[in-house]
Amino acid sequence: MAEVTLARRDAFDLPEDSWRGFSDPSAYIRVRADGTAELDLVVENLHCPGCIPKIEGAVKRLPGVLHARVNLSTKRLHLHWRPDAVEPSALLGAVAGQGFRLAPYDPGALASSGADDTKALLRALAVAGFAAGNVMLLSVSVWSGLVSDMGPATRDLFHWVSALIALPAVAFAGQPFFRSALTALRGHRLNMDVPISLAVILASGMSLVETLASGDYVYFDAAVMLLFFLLIGRYLDLRTRGQARSAAENLMLLRAQGASVLTADGERRALPIAEIGPGMRVLVAAGERVPVDGRIARGRSDLDTSLVTGESVPRAAAPGTEIFAGTLNLTSLLEVEVTAVGEGTLLAEIVRLMEAAEQCRARYVRLADRMARIYAPAVHILAAVSFLGWLAFGGLGWQEALLIAVAVLIVTCPCALGLAVPAVQVAAVGRLLRGGVLVKSADGLERLAQVDTVIFDKTGTLTQGWPEPTNLTEIAVADQRLAASMAAASRHPLSRALCRTVGPVGIPETEVREEPGLGLAMILDGREVRLGNREWCGVPTSQSSAVESELWLAVPGRAPVRFAFRDAPRADAARTVAWLKDRGLAVELLSGDREPAAREIARALGIDRWAGERRPADKIARLEVLAADGHKVLMVGDGLNDAPALAAAFASASPAEAADISQTAADFVIQGDGLSPLAEAMRVGVASRRLILQNFALALGYNAIAVPLAMAGLVTPLIAALAMSASSIAVTLNALRLSLARREARL
């Protein structure tokens, strides 16, 4: 495999501040098992949704790029590429060439970065508010003085005092907009802050010219008030989006920054996570979150694994148990052998899945991107047409015509359109995570809202996935203990279920041997005792069950004893099926298990259409038939044999206990022991679609009304600033209804 390296900033002809923190860049690249490479970066000066297509487009144009996605909430840029086709330096150069500053991805710095952004906006807002209040007082004096024949000298003095207050305030308070606009122009592109900056500069510059010429009218009050209202809108937008902040960012707060490491000589050392590697041993005290993925080497405890499994009941852990970063150690000290840290942990993988879901290039997102992409040229054309039209045909002077153009520049900002989809996606993903559903594809949410048919697998999906004895009350305790003592020597699922149910038993005095495919045997009092299938234990076929699994205990001189096992349905499976049917969805069961077992579970859960002994190809064939008939199918399955069907279905879901490949193929992962989160996902999917359409209507309706009014000269720059900010906040608050709404009770 070729070595993956990351070039230094001085290898490129780029601005000095394009790269930050890459003293050891190769440490940030992860090489996957298939030879491809991944890298996560932070785009420091990413402020608006309109920048996302620019960044992703610049990278995706390069050969060998498999994936590039930007998350607006966390500012993370995730890159996935083939090292033999493109150098990582070319990837970073493409982004920096657009005028964006890059830094290594540091989850711990995100919270402080967000706080810094908030403080900077508050400082700018305070300066703009102070200047706006004072300049407005002077402007009111000038306006009233003009009516009462104020002298030119007094009027000029007031104008100069206004200029001395307004111009420094504009220079300071306008920095959030000016920096963003300058970055875009350096990258030979336009963003939504370019027309805003142009409007503020034009209003201030025109006022300064009038002041120098002793003119009657200046617009310093409009410039600073414009900035004041724009900053209020941006601050409120930042805060309201913070209420629906990425669930992935919240998960990242669970990551440990350091751990207590046990050295080879038995000493304890506190080390940062970056210096801990696989094979090392860390100590996790009671009450601490596990900082790494690993395997327990010493100690026993109870773990709160709700983050990973959704299960609220603590899980017992002993030597050999696998544990994951983010889980909580509840009762006693554990010594853990590290298997993965940082970006290699399960928690990091969940974070990446969450971010991918929040910023997925879904159909509605692509539509919003296309509409926002034509914004910059369109708004400048409209502003120019307004200025020239009023100047040539409206009988206005250049000052009044320019003010109308400034209002058009401001009122057409597409912030609301850019936030229409991401705000809903963030709220939906966060709500579903709290409801026990891990969303892997935001496009899946759109598709889930259109589903009309649900197909379930049986084992591990509708059922618990493990057998339980059903007739122990009919069996003598001595026989139970004898069978369990023999079963302890086997890892067969039925043997383990028997041991788990009967409880601890003594070890047999004689050796237990296992006959593959048959069962277990041992010599007791000179006679062979067997525990296994009916043929091996000499049981007639007529006594077997086609529905239940079974083990037989055969002791010479006695009638064989039957241990029956059944994979019981999940506790809420029947209620979930009933809920789906009540809402008009067709429900089917396709199982690879025996037909009698499939028939029994279908009858127990009220599923009318079912089929057993179905291979993966049979399941896909059924999906294709339904799709050809115009049905949109949700496939729910957990096994390796379900992965092809999950990938082929219109939408798909998989339980948390499912095989890795099934979870990879699914759009949603259902956590916990029940199926009721599936109903929550379907409710949220329908609500998300409705809110996205509402947000589009709000954004487009705002522009349909505001733009003609601005071009007609009926909207001042101040009113335009208020309207633009209000539209963005309205869209975000509408999306927040999804996360603030009361979740319906579990089925």
Q: Provide DSSP, 591-634.
A: -SS-HHHHHHHHHHHT--EEE-S--HHHHHHHHHHHHHTT--EE
Could you write out the three-class secondary structure of 151-175? CHHHHHHHHHHHHHHHHHHHHHHCH
Q: Kindly tell me the number of DSSP H helices and DSSP E strands found in the chain.
A: 24, 27
Please state which of the ranges 42-56, 407-421, 495-509 shows the lowest mean pLDDT. 407-421
Asked whether the predicted pLDDT for residue 17 surpasses 50, the reply is no
Separation between Cα atoms, residue 334 and residue 319, nearest integer Å: 9
Distances (CA, A) of 206 to 210, 211, 713: 6, 9, 18
At residue 16, the pLDDT reads: 44
At residue 453, the pLDDT reads: 93
Domain spans in the chain, listed from the N-terminal domain onward: 9-105, 111-243, 255-345, 437-465+570-671, 468-566
Asked whether the predicted pLDDT for residue 160 surpasses 80, the reply is yes
Name the nearest CA neighbour of 293 among 317, 326, 329.
326
Under CATH, which architecture does the 255-345 domain have? Distorted Sandwich (2.70)
Residues 6+ apart with CB under 8 A from 76: 40, 41, 42, 43, 70, 105, 355
When the pLDDT of each residue in the chain is averaged and rounded to a whole number, the result is 77
Name the nearest CA neighbour of 590 among 686, 397, 701, 455.
455
Q: Give the CA angle between residues 6, 114, 175 to the nearest 5°.
A: 90
At residue 455, the pLDDT reads: 93
Asked whether the predicted pLDDT for residue 685 surpasses 90, the reply is no
Asked whether the predicted pLDDT for residue 352 surpasses 80, the reply is no
Marked catalytic residue, from 221, 457, 567, 673: 457
Separation between Cα atoms, residue 446 and residue 439, nearest integer Å: 12
At residue 580, the pLDDT reads: 92
Beta bridge partners of 529: 522
Strands (E), 96-165: 102-104
Q: Can you spell out the DSSP letters for 76-91?
A: EEEEEE-TTT--HHHH
Name the residue with tokens 């379900």.
642
Could you tell me what percent of the chain has a pLDDT over 90?
A: 8
More confident residue, 264 or 572: 572
Both tokens of 466, joined, read 């493990």
721-744 mean pLDDT = 73
User: How does pLDDT run across 223-263, given as a tens digit for each residue?
Assistant: 787 788 778 767 765 664 554 444 455 555 566 677 888 88
Separation between Cα atoms, residue 456 and residue 61, nearest integer Å: 41
More confident residue, 600 or 140: 600
692-705 mean pLDDT = 84
User: How does pLDDT run across 491-504, given as a tens digit for each residue?
Assistant: 777 888 888 888 87
Strands (E), 651-710: 651-655, 668-670
Give the helix/strand (H/E) hosting 304.
Answer: strand 301-304
At residue 313, the pLDDT reads: 47
641-655 mean pLDDT = 78
User: How does pLDDT run across 362-377, given as a tens digit for each residue?
Assistant: 455 555 555 655 666 7
CATH number of 437-465+570-671: 3.40.50.1000
740: amino acid identity, one letter:
L
Asked whether the predicted pLDDT for residue 127 surpasses 90, the reply is yes
Rg (CA), the chain: 33
Asked whether the predicted pLDDT for residue 106 surpasses 70, the reply is no
Give the helix/strand (H/E) hosting 455.
Answer: strand 453-456
Residues 6+ apart with CB under 8 A from 254: 289, 307, 325, 326, 347
Q: Which of 40-49, 229-238, 430-439, 624-633 has the highest mean pLDDT?
A: 624-633
User: How does pLDDT run across 184-230, given as a tens digit for each residue?
Assistant: 777 676 666 777 787 788 878 878 888 888 877 777 877 787 788 77
| Beta-carbon count within 10 A of 142 CB | 22
Cα torsion angle, 498, 500, 506, 510, sign: positive
Distances (CA, A) of 360 to 149, 341, 426: 62, 26, 11
Strands 519-524 and 527-532, by their bridges, are antiparallel
Residues in the chain: 747
User: How does pLDDT run across 298-328, given as a tens digit for each residue?
Assistant: 888 878 775 554 444 467 788 888 888 878 8
Both tokens of 384, joined, read 């120019």
Asked whether the predicted pLDDT for residue 66 surpasses 80, the reply is yes
10 is catalytic: no
Does residue 244 contact residue 427 with C-beta atoms inside 8 Å? yes
Asked whether the predicted pLDDT for residue 639 surpasses 90, the reply is no
Name the nearest CA neighbour of 415 among 238, 249, 247.
238
Does residue 45 contact residue 179 with C-beta atoms inside 8 Å? yes
Phi, psi of 393 (to 5 degrees): -120, -10
CATH number of 9-105: 3.30.70.100
Give the helix/strand (H/E) hosting 385.
Answer: helix 375-393
pTM for the model: 0.55
Asked whether the predicted pLDDT for residue 48 surpasses 80, the reply is no
Confidence of residue 8 (pLDDT cuts 50, 70, 90): very low
Does residue 444 contact residue 651 with C-beta atoms inside 8 Å? yes
Separation between Cα atoms, residue 669 and residue 661, nearest integer Å: 12
Does residue 99 contact residue 186 with C-beta atoms inside 8 Å? yes
Confidence of residue 704 (pLDDT cuts 50, 70, 90): confident
Does residue 623 contact residue 633 with C-beta atoms inside 8 Å? yes
- Helix residue spans in 345-374 (DSSP H): 346-358, 363-373
At residue 171, the pLDDT reads: 93
Strands 586-590 and 609-611, by their bridges, are parallel
37-45 mean pLDDT = 81
594-611 mean pLDDT = 86
Confidence of residue 360 (pLDDT cuts 50, 70, 90): very low
Does residue 297 contact residue 319 with C-beta atoms inside 8 Å? yes
Under CATH, which architecture does the 468-566 domain have? 3-Layer(aba) Sandwich (3.40)
Does residue 573 contact residue 462 with C-beta atoms inside 8 Å? yes
482: amino acid identity, one letter:
L
Does residue 638 contact residue 593 with C-beta atoms inside 8 Å? no
Assign 452 to helix, strand or coil. Answer: coil
More confident residue, 76 or 628: 628
At residue 664, the pLDDT reads: 61
278-291 mean pLDDT = 87
Residues 6+ apart with CB under 8 A from 27: none
